[in-house]
Every structure is written in structure tokens, then in C-alpha cells.
Amino acid sequence: MKLKSSEPFWIVKNGILNAYPSLRKDIKTDVLIVGGGITGSLIAHQCIKDGYRTVVADRREIAHGSTSASTAMLQYEIDTPLYQLIAQIGEKAAVASYKACFESIDILAQLAKEIGSDCGFKKKDSLYFAAYKKDVPWLKKEFDARKAHQFPVTWLEQEDVAAKFKLEHTYGGILSDQGASMDVFRMAHDLLAYNHKKGLEVYDKTDIEKVQHQKNGIVATTEYGNKIKAAKIIYCNGYESTEIIKEQFVDLLSTYAIVGEQCAGDQQHLENTLFWNTADPYLYMRTTEDNRLLIGGEDESFVNPEKRDHLLPYKAKRLAQKLERLLPGYDLRRDFMWAGTFGATKDGLPYIGKHPDFKNAYFVLGFGGNGITFSVIGMDMVSCFLQGKQHKLSPYFKFGR
């Protein structure tokens, strides 16, 4: 599956950060992690911390899957609004899921500091604004639900949004005092490099073609026929997990993003906030560490790479037009445009845990606009699983829920 088109900004900005060898012999380990994106990197960090011999294998270069295409807005706000999630899965489950995402932003901040990452992690507010007048009543309901569960939120009227952010054509929104952004491609690389020094084995361009799930462990075979024996396998294979899991558990979409040239003028009013709206599909934007504006959205419900690439210039133009309506006179000159694969689950929650068809295996599949925060939650969950313990979020994130 081709996960992205054109070159995302982060790959060009960072170039080749670290290259690892492909696997050329048979090896044994405690834990094999399939996938060296942000999820595999975070889980590898946890496994090394917990004292396991750990191997990461990726069929591409490190972090060249969805991680390289990610716009990395770190939000506790799940794609399904809290009040809707409460109606769908119950108050306890919904609030616990939101709280875990909330905490994961601080965990990530701490982690970036601990490993000395150059990923430009920056705490930001998050503004969820009404794109249409008709959305205001349910957005206020969402505000009340968040407030009732002690999330730090403020309601901004249309004129407050215009005064604070110079945004037009909004109808007010929820300002949350918890969010962040970073260069997630860099963070994945930094995590792997940090742990590589501590004994983590990393193999890129190493496709795991076949896995035998046995009673006492697994045997994985690479495209060149080398074998990896492990007690446990953790699939952090992102959207390509749909290639090995029979049932349909996620709807795959195509999504688009553009990045403007570095802003010569003043955009301080945009720098400390993540923006997203109530449109379907939603539009989102943020600034980058080097003072560019990034806008994303325009999702389509297919993943056909040819069709997706064909639409890219049109979608980039649409995103620029939407920006012009929102921030009249901004005059964005586009430097980058790309498309990527995105996934939506029935409740906006990830799939983290065992699957009945795979013995001695766990999956960490963070989908949707919160993919990254879900992957952070996966660290603690996997740590529990490997110790044979249950995790309090397992019932909400499990397969077949």
C-alpha cells in the first residue's frame, strides 16, 4: 500500500537523519516490533525501559509511513466529541479515554525532554471552532460536557475569536488549555537513536513477510528469508494492519495538507494555538517551528494512490481557498503539498491489545486525528500486557468491542 504522495515537509526538512541496516541473519529476541513509525518508536522506548531485548523492523526507511506525512497536532480531543462518545460508550469509558489523551500530551513533553529530542515540541492551546451557525448548539453541548468533567475550556464568541486570532467566518468555539505540536518524524528518529545506544536493534528496509504465531512465541520471516524468533510480537504497522487483519475495523481515507513559505510578517496570534473546525471533513491548521502555516483536511473516503495523487493539486488549491476565507489577506505561498492515508474507527478510539487470530501478539493501532496521543497511551498498555496485567483502558480499546 502506498501511504503517502509527494514529499511531506518533514522529510525534506530533516533529510536522512539515521539509516539502519537491513536484517541479514537469523536472530532471537524478547520482543519484535513491526513498524518503525512513531508508534513503534514509542513502544520500543518503553520495552527498552522495561528491560526487554527488543528489535524494531520496518519495510521502509524509518518513519517513512504515515508518520512522515503527519501534521502532528497533539490534542486530547478525540474525533468523536465527548458528549457523543458518552452517549456511544458510556460516561466512564468516554471520560477515561479523553483523560488518558489529555495526560499523554504531558507524557510526550517529558519524553521529548528526557531524550533531548530536537522535535520542537511546543505546548499550545487548541481552538475547536464552529464552521457553521447550525453547529453552535452541539458545540455548546460539547463545551458543557468538557466543563462538567473538569477539562480546562473557555467558550469564545465569534467576536472573541476574531479579536484574538483574526479568524473570520467562525461562529465561536471551545478554547482548550491543553495541546501541543511537534515534528513527529524527528521525534520517531530521536527515540530510536536514543534507544539504539541502549541496545535496541533497528532494521529498516526489512519487510516482515510471514509470521508464525506459535504456542511459546513467534517466528517472523523477512523478505530475504531471515528469521526472527521472539517471545512476543507487537504490531505497530499502522494502516497496513488492514493487510493482515481479516475483519473490517477501520475506514481508510485520504487526507491532504499544505505548508506555506516562512512567514515574513507577524503571525504571533496563530503561533500558540492549534485550530480545527466542525466541518465534515474538518479543516485544521497550525504554525510550524520555523514559522510557516500548515493547513490540512479535505479528506476523501478512498485510498487509491493514483486517484489520490491526481486530486492533490485540486485539494491543495481548495485548502488555500479555505484559508483565504478564514484569514483574509494572509497571502499564503505554498512550498509543500502532500497526501496521506488516514483512518476512522466507529468511535474515534484506537485498537490496542490482543487479537484472537494472533497468538503472542499485541497491536497498537492509533487511528484518527489523535493517532499520536493514542500511541503514547499504548506505551503504558503494552508495558502492562507484557507483565501479564490488564490495563484499565483495555475494554474500550480492544478488538471486537
Ligand X SMILES: Cc1cc2nc3c(=O)[nH]c(=O)nc-3n(C[C@H](O)[C@H](O)[C@H](O)COP(=O)(O)OP(=O)(O)OC[C@H]3O[C@@H](n4cnc5c(N)ncnc54)[C@H](O)[C@@H]3O)c2cc1C
- Residue 98 engages ligand X in binding (rule: CB under 6 A): no
What does the buried/exposed string (b/e) look like for 272-290 if buried means 16 or more CB atoms within 10 Å of the residue's CB? Answer: ebbbbbbeebbbbbbbbbe
- Residue 77 engages ligand X in binding (rule: CB under 6 A): no
Distance CA 312, CA 320 (A): 12
- Residue 350 engages ligand X in binding (rule: CB under 6 A): no
Residue of 250, 281, 278 whose CA lies nearest to 81: 278
When binding is defined by CB under 6 A, the residue of 80, 255, 273, 277 that contacts ligand X is 255
Strand 334-344 relative to strand 273-277: parallel, antiparallel, unpaired?
unpaired
One-letter amino acid for residue 218 of the chain: I
Q: Kind and range of the H or E element at 174?
A: strand 173-176
Stretch that binds ligand X, among 21-29, 70-78, 91-99, 139-147 (CB under 6 A): 70-78
When binding is defined by CB under 6 A, the residue of 5, 54, 67, 126 that contacts ligand X is 67
When binding is defined by CB under 6 A, the residue of 69, 259, 379, 393 that contacts ligand X is 69
Q: What is the CA radius of gyration of the chain?
A: 21
- Residue 260 engages ligand X in binding (rule: CB under 6 A): no
- Residue 34 engages ligand X in binding (rule: CB under 6 A): yes
Residue of 6, 69, 2, 1 whose CA lies nearest to 313: 6
Give the nearest residue (CB) to ligand X.
371
Q: How far is the CB of 134 from ligand X (least distance, A)?
A: 26
* Closer by beta carbon to ligand X, 62 or else 158: 62
Read off the C-alpha cell for 52: 526487554
- Residue 378 engages ligand X in binding (rule: CB under 6 A): no
Q: Give every CB contact of residue 151 below 8 A, 6+ residues apart in sequence.
A: 76, 82, 98, 102, 176, 178
- Residue 65 engages ligand X in binding (rule: CB under 6 A): yes
Stretch that binds ligand X, among 94-102, 165-173, 230-238, 300-308 (CB under 6 A): 230-238
When binding is defined by CB under 6 A, the residue of 127, 174, 228, 257 that contacts ligand X is 257
Contact present, 256 and 338 (Cβ < 8 Å): yes
When binding is defined by CB under 6 A, the residue of 36, 81, 217, 260 that contacts ligand X is 36
- Residue 236 engages ligand X in binding (rule: CB under 6 A): yes
Residues 311-330 that bind ligand X (CB under 6 A): none
Contact present, 14 and 216 (Cβ < 8 Å): no
- Residues lying near ligand X in the complex (CB under 6 A) are found at 3, 34-40, 57-60, 64-67, 69-73, 207-208, 236-238, 240, 255, 257, 296, 340-342, 366, 369-373, 375
